[in-house]
Amino acid sequence: MGTTAKEEMTHFWEKNTKSNRPLSPHVTIYKCWGVTWGLLVAGGAGDASPGLSGAVSVAGVSLFGVAALLLPEQFPHYLALLRSLALGPALICSAKFALAFPFTYHTWNGIRHLV
């Protein structure tokens, strides 16, 4: 007669408790996290984890979408408002980069994962 899932799980945890092994390596065992770890966190694991670039892209698109629905004026009004602030080219270029980089990085990381 077969065992139930609960019995299998109980047997598994009893065996692991007796062997006194850790469940999995923890990040504290690494002396240096390195480039690979940083790329994994930034881009995601590929399967189900979006990473920071995916989370930032989703948050940015969601914020702009909600703003487009809730703000009372049309887009040209807000564009004229930004132009009237007379921000320097360095700040404008930095802002454009901050908006485009997460999306671009996440896209290329996804293509790399598919290849």
Instruction: Confirm if 51 and 109 have CB atoms less than 8 A apart.
Output: yes
Query: DSSP of 62-114, one letter per residue?
Result: HHHHHHHHH-SS-HHHHHHHHHHT---HHHHHHHHHHHHHHHHHHHHHHHHHH
Task: Choose among 6, 34, 75: nearest CA to 42.
Answer: 34
Q: Which amino acid is at 14?
A: E
Q: Would the annotation count 77 as a binding residue?
A: no
Q: Which residues are annotated as a binding site?
A: 106
**Binding site per annotation, positions for heme:** 106
